[in-house]
Amino acid sequence: MSIEAVIPFKPSNPKSRLSSVMTVQERELFAEAMLHDVVIALTEAGCRPCILSTKTLHCSHARVSVCDEELNPALNSILAQRNEPLLIIMADLPLVNADVIRRVTGTARDIGIGPGRGGGTNAIFIKDCSRFHVDYYGASFMKHAGIAKESGLSVEVIDSFRLYTDVDEPDDLVELFIHGTGYARQFLESSGFSLRIEKGRVGISRNTG
């Protein structure tokens, strides 16, 4: 039986730390392209993606559930009512592929966590949802490891840079250029972005002409 994967998503004014390189309309399209890449990886891995969106949204490959609650209470009410495993995965992970999704959901432990750079939690797979709750924001990776420990649940840390690389800042676009192959990378290219290598450092530049 396929595993349900919840993807929290905020369509309005997303990715504000990219404001210096993209307009708000571009950021909205870019966020949707990244979401699309995550949905495709999940589908290829045999999961059932369900987007938990703060407003109405159309996506041909995923169920969409609209919810204007805050992230933690929204997810925790889902967890409390659930008696099947659940994967929660962020929408800004355009490097993920089916292989790494399978590594997360295939964990032999009670919980599989894919940390994000800077202490976040980019993916978490929970086998027994009634024994766990989430606490996102800040150093959520450590908080989630602590909650699991308190509940006597074993944890596997999934060692993947594809899962670890959330795209928040202009520097992160470099990673997408180097390692991405999907919609989000295509969006960057068609918007005039390219890799620039100067004095041994790799960055991005943009041709707006």
User: Interface with a copy of itself by CB under 8 A: which residues?
Assistant: 99-100, 115, 117-119, 137-139, 141-142, 157, 159-164, 171, 174-175, 178-179, 195, 197, 200-202
Report in angstroms how near the CB of residue 119 gets to a copy of itself at its nearest. Answer: 4
Report in angstroms how near the CB of residue 167 gets to a copy of itself at its nearest. Answer: 13
Task: Give the alpha-carbon dihedral of 35, 36, 39, 40, to 10 degrees.
Answer: -150
Decide: helix, strand or coil at residue 114.
strand
Indicate the residue among 200 and 209 with the shorter CB distance to a copy of itself.
200
DSSP string, 64-94: EEE--S-HHHHHHHHHHT--S-EEEE-S--T
Report in angstroms how near the CB of residue 84 gets to a copy of itself at its nearest. Answer: 27
Distance CA 10, CA 152 (A): 33
Indicate the residue among 17 and 55 with the shorter CB distance to a copy of itself.
17
Enumerate residues 6+ apart whose C-beta is below 8 A from 13: 24, 27, 28
Distance CA 154, CA 115 (A): 16
Report in angstroms how near the CB of residue 108 gets to a copy of itself at its nearest. Answer: 14
Tokens 């602590």 belong to which residue? Answer: 146
Enumerate residues 6+ apart whose C-beta is below 8 A from 42: 5, 7, 48, 49, 62, 87, 89, 101
Indicate the residue among 66 and 178 with the shorter CB distance to a copy of itself.
178
Report in angstroms how near the CB of residue 155 gets to a copy of itself at its nearest. Answer: 13
Indicate the residue among 24 and 157 with the shorter CB distance to a copy of itself.
157
Give 52's strand partners. Answer: 8, 65
Indicate the residue among 74 and 174 with the shorter CB distance to a copy of itself.
174
Report in angstroms how near the CB of residue 102 gets to a copy of itself at its nearest. Answer: 12
Indicate the residue among 46 and 118 with the shorter CB distance to a copy of itself.
118
